[in-house]
Amino acid sequence: MKKTLAFILSSLLAVYGTQAKEPKWSNAKFLKPDEAIAKMEIADEGIEVKTFVAEPDISETIAFCFDHRGRLWTLENMNYETRGKHLTTKAKNRIQIFEDTDGDGVFDTKKTFIDGLTFSSGIAVGFGGVYVGAPPNLIFIPDENGDDKPDSEAEVLLDGWGIRDRHETLNSFIWGPDGWLYGCHGVFTQSNVGKPGTPIKDRQYIDGGIWRFHPVKKEFEVFAEGLSNPWGFDFNDVGDGFTTVCVIPHLFHIIQGGIYDKQSKPNVNPYVYENIKTIRTHRHKSAHGGARFYLADTLPKKYHDQLFMCNIHEHAVLTDIMERKGSGYIGKHGENFVITNDKTWVGFSVEIGPEGGIYILDWHDQDICGNAVKFKDSSRVYRIALKGHKSPKVGNLRTMTDAQLAELQKHTNDWYVRHARVILHERASKNKLNTKLVHGKLKEMLKTAKTTGKKLRALWALYVTGAEQSFFLDNLNHEDEYVRSWSIQFLSEEKAPSAALEKFTKMAKEDSSPVVRRYLASALQRIPHNQRWATLAALSKHAEDLDDHNMQKMVWLALEPMVPTNVEKSLELAANSVMPKLQDFTARRALVTYTATHAYEAAPTNSSIEKLAPGFKLKINSNKNNKIYMESFRNKPVFQILPKTRRLNAELYKQFTVPMGKKTYLKYTVSHNPHETWKLVVSVNDKIISEQEITAKTTQEGWMSESVDLSEFAGQNITLKVINAEWYRKLSYGYFNELIVVSE
């Protein structure tokens, strides 16, 4: 009876939350895996927990995944020390491969794929190798022949990933239905991502959100912005994305191009005005990790398409149920699937296995927020499955024929569907696919499938294997709203769907599905500005979307970048719409555009700044002490500036026309307080072109002298900004001895 009451109480806490401060660490004793399992309470009596692998076979595992043979790969981050630092003197991280050969839910064989890695944070197998997050890089380790040994040195695909908070860099890799590799990124690490050698002005900035990388085109995109510290992302049965996060409300429906509530930090774009909010209807304790929809076939049917996640503070595996509402969802609490009753259980990653089991990664430590490692060299992966359930022999999907892989798109366990789709995509990209055969099978599946989910699996596989554009144009008329919606997304991927624009506008006017209208609003962000107007106008006239969770905000996000250069046309569109938010936001944005120059003129001129930074002014939102002139700092005259808050940076600006026929540079000499760091950002017309960390490690005798080339802006009237931005949540004075623009 006591055990039952305890289980009910914990369930109530999961739904209604608690006002008590959540502990970040405990003095709980170390439990061996069998001891830990003995303390667990499982919601369903027909389900059991087994230790698939644990210490000493694995150590400080930070991520794991399955390969096309059903084997489990662990990424072990033994360099980890705290959220703020890791061991740099010796690279000792490794990737291991574990196989359960007899299907009993416990590994039987293991091998090391690679060791000697630096700090690492994410892993995915595919395209003849392994993708690894190793900030500042996303790398690819090839193993084309599948002998479980790297074929060559790792290839750096992207660099520029930050690592200020080791919990908030690139993580949680997953292959999307569209063939892209997706991942998460937290707010307290700033990254400027691009291919190696990409100049700063051409990189993409992310400090919170969902990103994606295309394995064939080698392109990187920020898919959605905001959130807090997402460490789990997945797609439900119809391909909509969802993420679990920490600190802020835990559950978000992720839309391409969406901008979401953000912990502590301002939006990258200051003109969003209102973010998309959580979809949750309940409260859990704050920290969540992992996210996988149960799309397999062995657990009871009630779990189908429920989202499984770990709650770190509750030390539990929880489920949420997504219920359709308008263009999106509301997220309701499902159940406390497993309560561990172990304060050292730190679950933050979830996978579904080939046998339909649920695999949970447990970091296992007294410090559940990762500020220290109390239990060195520990970690476990647990398997949750039906009692006595045996794992079937998977074989090697990469040795299957094209026809067999196409047939796997019908499988009742999405593990097979997803892995087969990645292999089909790889073969198509290398011209090794019998496209006619595969497309014939998939088109027949799309035609005859009885559920939306199965229709979509055919559609997704057709897209990644190169189905013709006319096929997706035809499917804009499909009877299923999600087939129409995904056809919109696929036609917009190349950012120039000219053949579909007229149809998009017609659908925006006439399609009764709010899901279709949501996909249209999202797609507009990928369409040239001058081709958006008609579809935008049509979307803005649906009164039934006024109370929708997403639509007014997504329509605004498509219009906002067009307002500065099309003020009158934008105001006219908004005035003729039925959307109050669109009318309000457009007027506010137009006012900012109209008064921008005058607003800068209102900022005070300061003679101290003029001495060392001729022509520059200090923006008025800076700290009141910013205008302090010092005759000698490190033996040189300086002025110092300090951000007002973490949201309001200190900005110096200068408006001028860059001369033609000359080389023009911004030159600066700057310094820092001892033992402190600040970030110097240079932007032109609000686009970042340079970033530097000013710290003891980057300066010589406390000073840094650099120049930034402005010649590419020759003939343009620009607003040049030099910014002292927060660095890892800290505000520090920036000291300027010289800040000048020269042309020669």
Q: In whole angstroms, what separates CA 694 from the centre of its chain?
A: 28
Q: What is the mean pLDDT of residues 603-624?
A: 69
Is residue 497 reached through a cis peptide bond, with omega within 30 degrees of 0 on the bond before it? no
Q: Residue 633's pLDDT is what? A: 80
87 has a pLDDT exceeding 80: no
Whether residue 408 is predicted with pLDDT greater than 60 in this model: the reply is yes
Q: Are strands 122-125 and 109-117 parallel, antiparallel or unpaired?
A: unpaired
pLDDT single digits (tens) 685-729: 988 999 999 988 899 888 999 999 999 999 999 999 999 987 766
Locate 311 and state its tokens. 């709650």
Question: Distance between alpha carbon 334 and the CA centroid of its chain, in Å?
Answer: 25
Bridge partners of 617, per DSSP, are 653
Alpha-carbon torsion (585, 587, 591, 594), positive or negative? positive
Distance, in Å, from the CA atom of 521 to the CA atom of 549, rounded to the nearest integer, reads 13
pLDDT over threshold 70, residue 601: no
pLDDT at 7 over 70: no
pLDDT for position 720? 96
Q: Is the pLDDT of residue 421 over 70?
A: yes
Give residue-wise pLDDT tens across range 510-537: 999 999 999 999 999 999 999 999 999 9
Starting at the edge strand found earlier in the chain, the sheet holding 636-641 runs 628-633, 636-641, 734-743, 664-672, 703-709
Confidence bin at 597 (pLDDT 50/70/90): very low
Mean pLDDT rounded to a whole number for the chain = 91
Q: CB-based burial of residue 661 (10 Å sphere; 0-12 exposed, 13-18 middle, 19+ buried)?
A: exposed
Question: Are 72 and 381 a contacting pair, CB within 8 Å?
Answer: yes
Q: Using the predicted structure, report yes or no on whether residue 187 has a pLDDT greater than 70.
A: yes
pLDDT of residue 21: 57
For residue 544, count other CB atoms closer than 10 A to its CB: 12
Q: CA-to-CA distance for 537 and 199, rounded, in angstroms?
A: 37
Please tell me the distance from the alpha carbon of residue 127 to that of residue 129, in angstroms, as a whole number: 6
Contacts of 677 (CB under 8 A, 6+ apart): 693, 694, 695, 727, 728, 730, 732
Average pLDDT over residues 342-357: 96
What number is the average pLDDT over the span 240-261? 96
pLDDT tens readout for residues 530-572 = 999 999 999 999 999 999 999 999 999 999 999 999 999 999 9
Q: Concatenate the DSSP letters of all residues of 633-669 into one string.
A: ETTEEEEEE--SSSSS-EEEEEEEEPPTTS-EEEEEE
Instruction: List, in order, residues 6 or more apart from 574 with CB less than 8 Å away.
Output: 540, 559, 582, 583, 585, 586, 587
b or e along 14-46 (b: 16 or more beta carbons within 10 Å of the residue's beta carbon)? beeeeeeeeeebeeeeebebeebbeebbbbbee
Fill in the amino acid letter for 721. K
- pLDDT value, residue 646: 65
Query: Using one digit for the tens of pLDDT, what is the confidence trace for 439-466?
Result: 999 999 999 999 999 999 999 999 999 9
Say whether pLDDT at 10 is over 50. Answer: no
Contact in structure between 484 and 478 (CB atoms under 8 Å): yes
pLDDT of 722: 96
Structural contact between residues 513 and 484, judged by C-beta atoms closer than 8 angstroms: yes
**Whole-angstrom distance, CA of residue 227 vs CA of residue 243:** 9
Label residues 70-88 b or e (16+ Cβ within 10 Å = b): bbbbbbbbbbbeebeebee
User: How confident is the model at residue 132, as a pLDDT?
Assistant: 98
Task: Tell which wins on pLDDT, 2 or 425.
Answer: 425
429 vs 640 pLDDT, higher one: 429
Mean pLDDT of 374-379: 89
For residue 249, pLDDT over 90 is answered with yes
User: Could you tell me the pLDDT band of residue 127, with boundaries at 50, 70 and 90?
Assistant: very high
pLDDT value of position 733: 85
pLDDT at 403 over 60: yes
Of the listed ranges 169-178, 256-265, 362-371, the one predicted with least confidence? 362-371
Is residue 672 within 8 Å of residue 727, measured between CB atoms? Answer: no
Q: What are phi and psi of 693, to 5 degrees?
A: -90, 125
Place of tokens 């969902």: 210
**What's the per-residue H, E or C state across 452-475?**
HHHHHHHHHHHHHCCCCHHHHHHH
Question: What pLDDT score was predicted for residue 607?
Answer: 64
Output the pLDDT for position 606. 58
Give residue for tokens 């695909």.
157
pLDDT tens digits, one per residue of 423-445: 999 999 999 999 999 999 999 99
pLDDT in tens, 198-217: 998 899 999 999 999 999 99
Closest CA to 248 of 290, 274, 285, 207: 285
Strands annotated E in 478-601: none
